[in-house]
Amino acid sequence: MIECGSPEALAATVRLLRDAHAGSILLVEGGADAKCYRAFTVEGQCELLCAGSRDVLIRALEILQGASVEGVLGIVDADFSLIDNDMPGLRSLFHTDSHDLETMVVASPALERVLAELGSAAKLEAHARLAHQTHREAVIAAALPIGHLRHLSRSADLGLRFEGLRFSTFILDKPCLSCDTNRLVSEVKNHSQRHDLNSAAIVSELSAGTASGHDPWQICCGHDLANILAVALRRVFGTNPAATVSPERVEQSLRLAFEFAYFRETQLYSAVWEWQRSTGQPVFRS
């Protein structure tokens, strides 16, 4: 899968491909997205190109639409755009139902399939009985403070770093799966070298965010869900060694368990299907 480094390079690649390919051209953000969506496309009639980032994809689509290049569409993660009401208004740009592709997968029955494969039936039953909530509800609740912290960092321009966090320092498994917000803030501050930030003020902001009523599926990040599942499958949902249930392997397992039947139930599929109907360009199979 070729990744184009700039919007201009991606737009130029699309133009070259359009000369040789009469079908649709689907732009996606990254390689993992391409692997997932490719399995659902009409073989031989839809070509995928990887933009490398959300911003590159959106800008390239703007260039192509400005030049009246037809038959090209893009799919991006919603991220916080639906919360912040800043999704670009491009007619051929589509977004995931929830925060990103990974959360859309976790919201589907793919989660139950992965838990059945990697989890312990006894531990899963015991946790559900003790927590009085489904495993999906427990995971999304544990991820919610992290999602709000990500949103706060973006909106207040705090420059916090989330890649490489040690989730085991703030994701607790006793008595049930949960997130210790104070430990979360401390870990992120140290990881980001932002010791100047007021921890108590941030914790208060996160509490206010949780009470705001925003849809948790728009707030939570799929990579955080995978990291939480990796911790849970070692300690509370199962007894797997860390190497067996790394976040990367959890995400891979979820993608493989995400069947076309589940994808067909999404708003994203319906929106793209309507685009297919109106343009006559096949993208996803029926």
- Which tens digits make up the pLDDT trace of 214-225? 999 999 999 999
Whether the pLDDT of residue 282 is over 60: the answer is: yes
Return the percentage of the chain with pLDDT > 70, whole number.
99
The answer to whether 181 and 155 have CB atoms below 8 angstroms apart is no
- Which tens digits make up the pLDDT trace of 198-210? 999 999 999 988 8
How high is the pLDDT of residue 174?
Answer: 85
In angstroms, the first-to-last Cα distance of the chain is: 25
Task: Read off the pTM.
Answer: 0.94
- Which tens digits make up the pLDDT trace of 16-52? 999 999 999 999 999 999 999 999 999 999 999 999 9
Helix (H) or strand (E) holding 116: helix 110-118
- Identify the weakest region by mean pLDDT among 111-125, 137-151, 205-219: 205-219
Structural domains of the chain ordered from first start:
7-97+266-279 (3.40.50), 103-259 (no CATH)
Q: How far is CA 159 from CA 95, 146, 203, 278, in A?
A: 25, 14, 17, 42
Question: Which pLDDT band holds residue 96 (cuts at 50, 70, 90)?
Answer: very high
Q: What is the CB-side half-sphere exposure of residue 113 using CA atoms within 13 A? A: 16
How high is the pLDDT of residue 35?
Answer: 94
How high is the pLDDT of residue 211?
Answer: 76
As a whole number of angstroms, the distance between CA 79 and CA 223 comes to 12
**Tokens, residue 120:** 């312990």
Instruction: Tell me the mean pLDDT in the region 179-197.
Output: 97
> In the predicted model, what is the mean pLDDT of the chain?
95
Give me the residue label for tokens 């939480």. 228
**Tokens, residue 260:** 């076309």
**Tokens, residue 270:** 């319906």
* 3-state DSSP assignment of residue 27: strand
**Tokens, residue 183:** 């430990």
* 3-state DSSP assignment of residue 277: helix
